[in-house]
Amino acid sequence: MDMNITEWSAPSRDRPRGVTILGSTGSVGQSTVDLIAREPDRYRVEALVAGNSVDALAEQARRLNARLAVVANPQRYRALKDALAGTSIEVAAGPEAVVEAAERPAEWVMAAVVGFAGLKSTLVAARRGAIVALANKEALVCAGRLLTETIEESGGVLLPVDSEHNAIFQVLEPRHRHAIDRLILTASGGPFRNWSSADMAEATPEQALAHPNWDMGAKISIDSATMMNKGLELIEAHLLFGLPADQVEIVVHPQSVIHSMVAYTDGSVLAQLGTPDMRVPITHALGWPSRIEGPAARLEFGGLAALTFERPDSGRFPSLRLAREALVTGGFAPIVLNATNEAAVAAFLARRIGFLDIARIVEDVMAGWDRLSEPVESLQQIQSVDLEARSRAEKAFQDK
Ligand SMILES: NC(=O)c1ccc[n+]([C@@H]2O[C@H](COP(=O)([O-])OP(=O)(O)OC[C@H]3O[C@@H](n4cnc5c(N)ncnc54)[C@H](OP(=O)(O)O)[C@@H]3O)[C@@H](O)[C@H]2O)c1
């Protein structure tokens, strides 16, 4: 991604930045709201969007004096309207209203809806040339080139918020792109890093949700436990930085201090480090193309006992292998991988399937799909592949 940063200026009191937060009540969304609330003079909040959490959304909208608050579930419209009665904040509900929120004129949009549900609004923000701070990796995994080409054509910018990709974005020097040997994505290894497959077979949602380093939403926490999160990030790294699968290495780094690295052909390796706090990459994205002050704890090197590294184990964590295969296959494969995984994670959280069934069902659905490498041409096609994969996953849950 090459970008013309002279078009953009950092948020300031003289020129407040218009912002919209899609998924404002989630883990990334709340951190974004908190950062903005610390410097209200630098931002003008256009729209906040949530799925269902009306009370939290209304509180955020009042706190940030947002122009518009949207809840995706249309049945929550009345509750949101009541919660914002007596204010001048506009209220809307339903999936179309979510898309309209993304269309409103905010220069900077945080895409932090979880999962495929965030795809359309992310694409809409990209199409109108916004700075899209991308947390919603599933949108990029599924839309692929459709999203990266949309943003290139519109003159917008895709800023990675995932801490690994944000790290690479910070240390990848575009003028030295030809001299990149490989990207190195770090992975914490999740809560089951040292568990045997037999123990993982019995793992409960509570155990899988207990991430050792990061406090995150439920879906990404389960993805970290299966390591599908790193698999999705592999695809994300390929799409953002244009390197093939065999030039993206994954290394387990349990302390989550090095957030990722770029290795160059002269033997140099550039890393970005920080405390494991999502406010670091979100602050970077909020301030881009400049740097602004953030509240995250400073890294105290004297207090770091050791930084350790291990090779990932795709035997115990087959999602890593499945994601790499999906990336190499291309076409529909990442969409099928993502949809089946989203459905399987929800089924695991609902205690309908076991922990190891998640990857097993993803593998079965992918293996049974004809013409997985067929090229993706439109949003409608992506949506229909997503639906079909979810219905095949549902059948697999019922057959169990
Ligand atoms: N959490 C992290 O540290 C982290 C780090 C890197 C990347 N990410 C990525 O960032 C994204 C968000 O993760 P998260 O952990 O913040 O998730 P989360 O805590 O589950 O929050 C998800 C947000 O999306 C909203 N939402 C859900 N369904 C929606 C729909 N159909 N339409 C509109 N909004 C909807 C939720 O609203 P309700 O509250 O009303 O349900 C909530 O605001 C994911 O793609 C994840 O992979 C997260």
pLDDT in tens, 329-354: 999 999 999 999 999 999 999 999 99
Which residues lie across from 310 on neighbouring strands? 252
Three-state SS for 258?
A: strand
Which atom of ligand 1 lies at the shortest distance from residue 52's CA?
A: 40
Q: What is the pLDDT, as a whole number, of residue 1?
A: 52
Which ligand 1 atom minimizes the distance to the CA of 223?
47
Query: In this model, does residue 134 exceed pLDDT 80?
Result: yes
* CB of 142 shorter than 6 A to ligand 1: no
Percent pLDDT > 90 in the chain is 95
Asked if residue 2 has pLDDT above 60, the reply is: no
Average pLDDT of the segment spanning 279-296 = 97
CB 17 within 8 A of CB 41: no
Write the pLDDT tens digit of every residue in 179-233. Answer: 999 999 999 999 999 999 999 999 999 999 998 888 899 999 999 999 999 999 9
DSSP class of residue 115 equals: S
The pLDDT of residue 205 is 98
Evaluate: CB of 29 within 6 angstroms of ligand 1: yes
Chain segment 226-271, per-residue pLDDT in tens: 999 999 999 999 999 999 999 999 999 999 999 999 999 999 999 9
At residue 260, the pLDDT reads: 98
- Are the C-beta atoms of residues 208 and 192 closer than 8 Å to each other? yes
- DSSP symbols for 139-186: HHHHHTHHHHHHHHHHT-EEEE-SHHHHHHHHH--GGGGGGEEEEEEE
Give the residue carrying structure tokens 């592949």. 385
d(CA 23, CA 98): 10
pTM: 0.97
pLDDT band of residue 290 (cuts 50, 70, 90) is very high
Ligand 1 centroid distance, CA of 22 (Å): 9
pLDDT at 7 over 80: no
Whole-number pLDDT of residue 6: 61
The finding on whether 356 has its CB within 6 A of some atom of ligand 1 is no
Tell me whether strands 90-93 and 108-111 are parallel, antiparallel or unpaired: unpaired
The SS3 of residue 230 is helix
Q: What is the mean pLDDT of residues 273-297?
A: 97
CA of 138 to the centre of ligand 1 (A): 11
Q: Rounded to whole angstroms, how far apart are CA atoms 211 and 189?
A: 9
For the packed helices 279-287 and 27-38, what is the interaxial angle rounded to 10 degrees? 50
Cα(64)–Cα(363) distance, rounded to whole angstroms?
Answer: 44
First vs last Cα of the chain: how many Å apart?
A: 44
Residue 5: predicted pLDDT:
59
pLDDT given for residue 4 in this prediction: 55
What's the distance, CA 44 to chain centroid? Answer: 24
List, for residues 345-396, the tens digit of each pLDDT value. 999 999 999 999 999 999 999 999 999 999 999 999 999 999 999 999 999 9
The whole-number pLDDT of residue 340 equals 98
Q: Is ligand 1 within 6 A of the CB of residue 215?
A: no
Q: Is 80 in the pocket of ligand 1 (CB under 6 A)?
A: no
Counting residues of the chain whose pLDDT is more than 70, the rounded percentage is: 98
Question: What residue's CA is closest to ligand 1, atom 15?
Answer: 217
Q: Report the atom number in ligand 1 closest to the C-alpha of 24.
A: 43
Q: What is the DSSP letter of 368?
A: T
pLDDT at 3 over 60: no
- Report CA(216)–ligand 1 centroid distance (Å): 9
Considering only 12-16, 66-70, 82-86, which range has the smallest mean pLDDT? 12-16
- Check residue 393 and give its pLDDT: 98
User: How far away, in angstroms, is 258 Cα from ligand 1 center?
Assistant: 24
